[in-house]
């Protein structure tokens, strides 16, 4: 401590980055010299030091917060000596004034030894100006850093600082493209350095930063082959329909460590699946982590509101395509994004695990709610049983619907058996069922509208409209409602015929060949056979059933249910072709839902359902 005219004092020092290696000692030396020159008797020094921490906020400055706390609670000092206002705080006049006021209320005086701030009103005014200047220095520095990073990203393009994405290493290149070295991040925070020939050079400590000159260009290159394989597997599992939790759970079950050595979480999987870096693009500004400024997709700066990191809208991302070697191709990446978008619209129904086979297909005819999959435990045997429960009763009670429970295992088995019966029909083998289906589909092919027939019918309707208009002009018949309604019906019929005639003029889409119809039928029928035989995992089984079953209508009063299987073989085949060609475009979303049971017409199966 120090004594200045009998006043005990402590010191506070701070430096912003670990690159300012002599900043802390320099501050301490200056403050101690100032104390000696101003007649202070130093008994012992007590320093509060925040090392390599920004002064734009007090959050994270443990020594500063400890100093304020001790000043207000049982302090043994009456003054705080600090080099200048910027070391104390760069938070602006409001934040700096707030903490100075707290010290004043506690009876502690703040002295800035390099500022020479006088006492009285003049000193109070000068103190506000100094704190504003300290803040503006940080604002300007933040603005210059952002502009420099943005320029580097667009001109080179060069990856910015920080840890490489999972599956990638950071490769440093000279301005002429010569490979200088490669840095691989390890789960524990340490880094491996490889030379230009790929030989291991050294192990870099966690707190040490790899050096980088201003002219160096950084590229992402595929890293640990095991990590690359996990990235590709993650995208593949996503396309199969598995969500964040399921993928993370499977990786953890297999003992695969996460990016930093810890277990995988849903957020980690999400960050992999949504990051454009894996398709070879550099995406910057995905989050605003700076404390002062952010910017939009056009590079315009904007003040940041709040202290926490904030995810930015994709429209604000700065994306540089083809910046490095991708780990997955663009088609795979886009397919994964479409699957994820579809899962958001489906909610829990898209969950690949812990979801019942028919829960999304069953609907109550009385209340209109879907049925929920539930598990119950028998009171005496303690055996767990799976049920489908009426969602209306489950949510609102008997005021909405009856208490209806259906044994899930029995209903699942019944549905699969009925599907097999409907698909195979009278055929005793799958091959015969396919042959029958192909004959039915190819024989029932519609070659398009007969243009001459439509024109003839249209002419007849127009003639009847003209005659009806003439009758309405008759003084005795003009007020008859029947004639007016007949005219409305005829006009609607004419519009329909005109639309059909326009369809005749449109170029016809190529009809599917017998080979295509047979291949499609074989795929669907064999998948159903595997489902009935229990050879499919839950995810694939649900896909097969949802591809055949439109809905299951449950009548809780009659205790019966109807399984509806609408189907149009040619429409299904055309929808399948559109999906493969368009790769999930808007047309796919419209047509995929039409892919149903490969059988002409609508089929219905009924079953008695126990309800209580």
Q: Check residue 566 and give its pLDDT.
A: 58
Q: Check residue 470 and give its pLDDT.
A: 66
Instruction: Determine the Cα–Cα distance for residues 573 and 594; give it in Å rounded to an integer.
Output: 9
**Six-digit token string for 21:** 């290696």
Q: Check residue 198 and give its pLDDT.
A: 87
pLDDT digits (tens, 9 = 90+) for 175-189: 888 899 999 998 888
- 2-141: CATH topology is Rossmann fold (3.40.50)
pLDDT digits (tens, 9 = 90+) for 547-599: 678 788 999 888 888 888 755 544 454 444 444 333 333 333 322 333 332 33
Q: Report whether the peptide linkage leading into residue 157 is cis, meaning its omega lies within 30 degrees of zero.
A: yes
Instruction: Determine the Cα–Cα distance for residues 522 and 514; give it in Å rounded to an integer.
Output: 12
List the domain boundaries for the chain.
2-141, 168-345, 362-443+513-608, 451-505
Query: Is the pLDDT confidence value at 269 over 70?
Result: yes
CB 346 within 8 A of CB 356: no
End-to-end Cα separation, the chain, in angstroms: 82
Largest Cα–Cα separation, the chain: 123
Q: Which residues contact 403 (CB under 8 A, 6 or more apart)?
A: 390, 393, 611, 612
- Is pTM beyond 0.75 here? no
Q: Check residue 480 and give its pLDDT.
A: 62
Mean pLDDT of the residues in the chain: 75
Query: Is the pLDDT confidence value at 604 over 50?
Result: no
β pairing state of 168-173 and 179-185? antiparallel
**DSSP of 284-351:** E-SEE--SSEEE-TT--EEEPPSSS-EEPPGGG-EEETT-S--SS-HHHHHHHHHHHHHHHHHGGGG-
Q: Check residue 136 and give its pLDDT.
A: 75
The CATH number that domain 168-345 falls under is 3.90.1750.20
559 Rama sector, left if φ>0, alpha if ψ -120 to 50, beta otherwise:
left
Which of 227-241, 278-292, 533-547 has the highest average model confidence (pLDDT)? 227-241
Q: What percent of the chain has pLDDT over 70?
A: 69
Backbone angles phi, psi at 204, to 5 degrees: -95, 135
If one compares 70 and 513, the residue with the highest pLDDT of the two is: 70
């Amino acid at each position: 401590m120090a004594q200045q005219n009998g006043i005990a004092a402590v010191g506070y020092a701070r430096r912003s980055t670990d690159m300012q290696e002599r900043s802390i000692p320099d501050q301490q030396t200056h403050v101690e010299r100032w104390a000696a020159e101003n007649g202070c008797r130093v008994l012992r020094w007590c320093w509060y030091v925040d090392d390599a921490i920004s002064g734009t906020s007090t959050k994270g400055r443990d020594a500063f917060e400890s100093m304020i706390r001790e000043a207000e609670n049982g302090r043994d000092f009456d003054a705080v000596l600090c080099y200048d206002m910027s070391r104390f705080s760069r938070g602006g006049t409001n934040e700096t004034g707030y903490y100075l006021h707290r010290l004043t209320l506690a009876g502690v005086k703040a002295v800035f030894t390099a500022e020479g701030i006088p006492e009285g009103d003049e000193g109070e005014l000068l103190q506000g100006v100094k704190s504003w200047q300290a803040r503006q220095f940080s604002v300007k520095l933040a603005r210059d850093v952002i502009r420099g990073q943005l320029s580097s990203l667009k001109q080179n393009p060069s990856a910015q600082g920080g840890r490489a994405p999972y599956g990638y290493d950071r490769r440093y290149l000279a301005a002429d493209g010569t490979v200088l070295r490669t840095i691989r991040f390890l789960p524990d925070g340490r880094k491996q350095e490889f030379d230009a020939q790929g030989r291991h050079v050294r192990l870099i400590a966690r707190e040490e930063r790899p050096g980088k000159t201003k002219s160096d260009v950084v590229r992402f290159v595929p890293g640990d082959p095991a990590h690359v394989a996990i990235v590709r597997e993650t995208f593949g599992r996503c396309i199969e329909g598995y969500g964040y939790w399921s993928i993370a759970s499977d990786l953890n079950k297999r003992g695969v460590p996460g990016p930093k050595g810890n277990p995988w979480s849903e957020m980690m999987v999400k960050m992999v699946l949504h990051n454009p870096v894996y398709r070879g693009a550099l995406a910057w500004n995905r989050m605003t982590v700076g404390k002062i400024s952010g910017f939009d997709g056009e590079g315009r700066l904007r003040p940041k509101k709040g202290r926490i990191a904030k995810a930015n809208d994709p429209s604000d991302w700065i994306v540089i395509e083809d910046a490095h070697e991708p780990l997955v191709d663009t088609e795979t990446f886009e397919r994964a994004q479409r699957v994820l978008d579809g899962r958001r619209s489906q909610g829990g129904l898209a969950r690949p695990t812990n979801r019942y086979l028919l829960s999304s297909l069953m609907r109550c005819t009385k209340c209109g709610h879907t049925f929920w999959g539930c598990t119950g435990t028998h009171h005496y045997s303690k055996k767990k049983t799976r049920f489908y429960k009426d969602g209306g009763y489950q949510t609102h009670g008997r005021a909405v619907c009856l208490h209806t429970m259906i044994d899930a295992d029995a209903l699942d088995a019944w549905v699969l058996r009925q599907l097999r019966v409907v698909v195979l029909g009278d055929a005793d083998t799958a091959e015969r069922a396919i042959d029958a289906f192909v004959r039915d589909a190819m024989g029932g092919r519609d070659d398009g509208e007969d243009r001459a027939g439509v024109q003839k019918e249209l002419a007849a309707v127009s003639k009847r409209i003209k005659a009806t208009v003439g009758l309405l002009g008759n003084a005795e018949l003009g007020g008859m409602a029947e004639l007016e309604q007949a005219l409305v019906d005829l006009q609607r019929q004419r519009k329909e015929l005109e639309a059909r005639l326009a369809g005749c003029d449109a170029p016809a889409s190529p009809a599917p060949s017998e080979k295509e119809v047979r291949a499609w039928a074989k795929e669907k029928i064999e998948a159903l056979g595997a489902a009935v035989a229990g050879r499919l995992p839950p995810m694939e089984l649900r896909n097969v059933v949802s591809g055949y079953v439109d809905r299951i209508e449950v009548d809780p009063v009659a205790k019966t249910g109807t399984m509806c299987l609408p189907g149009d073989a040619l429409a299904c085949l055309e929808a399948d072709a559109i999906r493969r060609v368009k790769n999930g475009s808007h047309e796919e979303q419209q047509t995929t839902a039409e892919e149903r049971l490969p059988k002409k017409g609508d089929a219905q199966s009924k079953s008695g359902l126990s309800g209580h």
